[in-house]
């Protein structure tokens, strides 16, 4: 079968479509014929080696974390799915990839595809929806009436996180370029700062939570808009010691990550704000609940561009430019 793989870590990872053996599902796994694979920024980061200490792959490795497709085989212990079922899932951090003709998916991370979505729409959802759910609902404990700042509201994670925050009853502040203001307002954003004209930290105030989605100094600047007792949940780093412990990494990495996050931790503490780094985890039960929100159209996919499988490498390059309005998806069938 064909898959988009990378051969090595570094500046020349050798990304391309290659022939690889079709995977065989274990007892608790599904074999899924992939119809579409959603792309995420981390798909471009993994080949650089940035996450090599915490995301081990056996090279050459298949890229991609999100998929939607049809079950073609099941392991002997599988009880919730059968061949012919349309499913969607994230396989992030499971040592496997989704930008391929077939993929193995643990039963515990899969959910039935929402009936009202096509495969492209469904493939765009798993990682961004699970990340938003785990960051806003679990980690930040966002409550109705609270205010959350979600920068880069027109991006893949921003477009979904805004919708979920509004579903939870929160007020949402975000940043966007002039051309994307109408989009993020249409998704439910209450306060929108045109980052080309204004500095958000001089406009926004009284917030209860920040979802860190942008690299650079945005997280540090966002501390000033928060109330005492608020939370920052970062998806882009710096990694912290708590993350290292949760991943059961060695003492040295826990020490290094502690050093990496020391500055932001110190700044947050001065304002009585807590900081934590979040690595999304695949979760079929959560994805099933999210599927119900999608079926009732309380949240909806936002897709920027769809690439054919033959142009999967070009799709990653397009995503890397950082200008996508919503998600980028690769379509196999």
Q: How far from 240 is each of 56, 96, 139, 188, CA to CA, in Å?
A: 19, 25, 15, 32
Fold of 128-277: Rossmann fold (3.40.50)
pLDDT for residue 257: 85
At 320 the pLDDT is: 94
Q: Is 90 exceeded by the pLDDT of residue 327?
A: yes
Q: Where are the domains of the chain?
A: 2-125+301-331, 128-277
What pLDDT shows up at residue 240?
83
C-alpha 127/C-alpha 278 separation (Å) is 12
Q: Which residues contact 230 (CB under 8 A, 6 or more apart)?
A: 207, 208, 209, 210, 273, 274
What pLDDT digit, counting tens, does each position of 23-48 carry? Answer: 999 999 999 999 999 999 999 999 99
What mean pLDDT is predicted for residues 235-243? 83
**Residue 242: is its pLDDT beyond 90?**
no
R_g of the chain computed on alpha carbons: 19
**Given this model, what pLDDT does residue 325 score?**
93
Strands (E), 39-159: 61-62, 66-74, 86-90, 102-106, 110-112, 147-150
Cis peptide before 187 (omega within 30 of 0): no
Give the whole-angstrom CA distance, residue 146 versus residue 160: 18
- In whole angstroms, how far apart are CA 150 and each of 12, 146, 190? 33, 13, 11
**Class of 2-125+301-331 per CATH?**
alpha beta
pTM for the whole structure: 0.93
**β-pair type (29-38, 66-74):** antiparallel
């Amino acid at each position: 079968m064909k898959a988009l793989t990378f051969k090595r870590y570094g500046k020349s990872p050798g990304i391309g479509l290659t022939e690889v053996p079709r995977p065989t599902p274990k007892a608790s796994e599904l074999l899924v014929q992939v119809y579409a694979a959603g792309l995420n920024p981390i798909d471009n980061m993994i080949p650089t080696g940035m996450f090599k200490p915490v995301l081990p792959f056996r090279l050459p490795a298949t890229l991609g974390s999100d998929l939607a497709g049809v079950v073609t085989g099941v392991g002997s212990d599988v009880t919730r799915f059968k061949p012919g079922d349309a499913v969607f899932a994230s396989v992030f951090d499971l040592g496997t990839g989704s930008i391929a003709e077939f993929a193995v998916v643990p039963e515990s991370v899969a959910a039935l595809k929402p009936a009202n979505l096509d495969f492209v729409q469904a493939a765009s959802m798993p990682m961004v929806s699970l990340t938003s759910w785990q960051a806003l609902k679990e980690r930040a404990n966002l409550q109705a009436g609270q205010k959350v700042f979600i920068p880069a509201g027109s991006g893949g994670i921003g477009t979904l996180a805004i919708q979920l925050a509004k579903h939870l009853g929160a007020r949402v502040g975000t940043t966007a370029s002039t051309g994307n203001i109408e989009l993020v307002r249409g998704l439910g954003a209450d306060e929108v700062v045109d980052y080309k004209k204004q500095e958000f930290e001089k406009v926004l105030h009284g917030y209860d939570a920040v979802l860190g989605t942008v690299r650079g100094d945005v997280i540090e600047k966002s501390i000033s808009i928060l109330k005492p007792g608020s939370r920052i949940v970062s998806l882009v780093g710096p990694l912290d010691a708590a993350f290292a412990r949760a991943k059961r990494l060695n003492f040295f990495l826990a020490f290094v990550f502690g050093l990496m996050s020391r500055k932001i931790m110190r700044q947050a503490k001065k304002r009585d704000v807590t900081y934590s780094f979040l690595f999304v985890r695949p979760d079929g039960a959560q994805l099933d609940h999210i599927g119900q929100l999608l079926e009732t159209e309380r949240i909806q996919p936002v897709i920027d561009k769809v690439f054919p499988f033959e142009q999967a490498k070009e799709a990653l390059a397009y995503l890397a430019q950082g200008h996508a309005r919503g998600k980028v998806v690769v379509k196999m069938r």
